[in-house]
Structure 1
Amino acid sequence: MKIVIIDYGAGNIQSIKFAIKRLGYEAVLSSNEDEIRQADKVIFPGVGEAGSAMRMLRSTGLDKVIPTLKQPVLGICLGMQLMCDHSEEGDTQGLGIFKADVKRFDNSVKVPQIGWNQITNLETHLFDNVQNEEYVYLVHSYYVPECIDEIARTEYGVNYSTALHRDNFYGVQFHPEKSSKTGEQILKNFLNLDLRN
């Protein structure tokens, strides 16, 4: 199986590579359109600020490539947020894959949210063999409000969508590569996804 991690200068890439290696696979880092299109699975990571990350995507043309991919794609953290329509962070237009806008947590909670929190309302094969109310690791100041593409939910001041799915695209706000056995299972499920199911 060919796994490509999109390399655009805004990724928590090494920890994802190590997590995939622990599952018995090798992942390739690439910004090459042909290589990305030929992959069986694509991971779209993201760490940092939405506006600058989108500028990097646009400078490489990847903003046009990612929404047209046909294989399973997993956006992680900022990667998931960039797959949405819009983010309040830097007033950033996203890739428009998920029908949602990204908001900033208000001052009623400590920002950023850092640490372990529970995921509930789990849907799709991404969460096979994952129990409701398992804990995952999060680091973020912006969130996706509950929306039509939600497949998992977390509560932090408000209920928000901590995982999204539309067609062949998946997104998780948490870091599966840092979420112990639960995150490992979710990554394993993603790598086992068959779009015919």
Structure 2
Amino acid sequence: MQKVALIDYGSGNLRSAEKALIKAADGRAEIVVTNSAEVIASADRLVLPGVGAFASCMAALSERPGLQEAMNEAVHSQGKPFLGVCVGMQLMASKGLEFGETPGLGWIPGEVRRLEPSDTAAKVPHMGWNALTDVADQPVVAPLREGAPVYFTHSFAFYPQDEADVAAWVDHGGRFPAAVARGNLAGVQFHPEKSQDAGISLLARFLEWRP
């Protein structure tokens, strides 16, 4: 049975994410909540959640001994599938611009910046259900149909340098990336654990994904 490391670095609704992954796995994978570099190194695939500010989440990752090194080894040297959720997706960027400039993991070139809707009726934070558009033919996100409603709660978004790395978009007073993907990396700005059937479907596809 494959082992999935749900990375615990003090950020994110781990219990909800764990329950959603267990439901999506349907007995076909072991979900392990962990902050152990050794467990992460031995896992078959990785999930990085995240709630809060980019800078504080990046600092929390950096404070866990060996955590970033284990993630880099698993993702880059061993090519293990990786899913970032909300701020966990944003941390893949080169940098975040929340409360100053903070270097990210640098896995997908780009930056995380504040939403600036052109429509004044579009409030920030962006909270609630919204529909995906321009969903790419990428194994993890492709099963989500055009217009699929998913649940968001955030004020910042990840804008990759290369739009080819964007796997889906969403509109909230202006278009911004709802999902990214590159090689064995995937990330979603929305919360699969709060997105009902669409979210469970996405997690199930991630658990089956063999990039």
TM-score class, shorter-chain normalisation, is over 0.9
* Distance across 2 between alignment mates of 1:148 and 1:66: 24
Q: What TM-score do the two structures reach when normalised by structure 2?
A: 0.87
* Distance across 1 between alignment mates of 2:150 and 2:16: 15
- Deviation of the 1:62 alpha carbon: 2.3
* 1:76-155 matched pairs, under 5 angstroms: 76-90=85-99, 91-106=101-116, 108=120, 109-123=122-136, 124-145=138-159, 147-155=163-171
Q: What TM-score do the two structures reach when normalised by structure 1?
A: 0.93
| Cα RMSD after superposing both structures | 1.5
Query: Segments of 4+ in structure 1 off by > 6 A?
Result: none
Cα pair 1:128 1:189 within 8 Å, conserved? no
Aligned to 2:176: 160
Q: Deviations 1:121-162 (Å, cap 9, x if unpaired)? A: 212011243211100000000012363310111111221111
Give the 3-state SS of the residue equivalent to 1:189 in structure 2. Answer: helix
* 1:6-17 matched pairs, under 5 angstroms: 6-17=7-18
Give the 3-state SS of the residue equivalent to 1:127 in structure 2. Answer: coil
* Distance across 2 between alignment mates of 1:142 and 1:177: 19
Report how many aligned residue pairs link the two structures.
Answer: 195
Aligned to 1:58: 62
Give the 3-state SS of the residue equivalent to 1:53 in structure 2. Answer: helix
- Deviation of the 1:57 alpha carbon: 0.9
- Deviation of the 1:96 alpha carbon: 0.5
Give the 3-state SS of the residue equivalent to 2:109 in structure 1. Answer: strand
Matched, 1:190 2:206: yes
